[in-house]
A = this chain, B = another copy of it.
């Protein structure tokens, strides 16, 4: 069983990654994540940042909430949104892992070339 097979056997995580990356593929949604990383905010403040009809903006919030990047809580009459960093961390780890494998391979290639060079100079 290879790493690729393991990934294929994890349908839930696969779908979660689909949703997280899809959520981040939009500048408005990324801006919301950027804003919420400095602290929670009510929908009115978030919507005020964007020149956009409220229903469209609410849809963006829905996309962010359904993949778990953002959560909301009603307190009195105001619904506040806040960042839930776990999905961000999961997606980030996937990326870091791919780069690490790639960099390890480059290092191995480097070692191999070094060995060849040393053999030639023997």
Chain A contact residues, CB within 8 Å of chain B: 3-4, 7-8, 14, 17-19, 21-22, 24-27, 30-31, 33-39, 49, 83, 85, 88-89, 91-92, 94-96, 98-99, 101-103, 105
Contact = CB atoms under 8 A, between A and B. Distances in A.
A21 B31 contact: no
A89 B85 contact: no
A90 B73 CA distance: 32
Of A4, A24, A88, most buried by chain B (CB within 10 Å of CB) is: A24
Contacts of A26: 18
Given A99-B37, A101-B38, A49 B4 contact: yes
Contacts of A31: 4, 7-8
B95 A99 contact: no
A105 B103 CA distance: 32
Contact of A37 (B7, B33, B39, B102): B102
Contacts of A34: 3-4, 7, 98
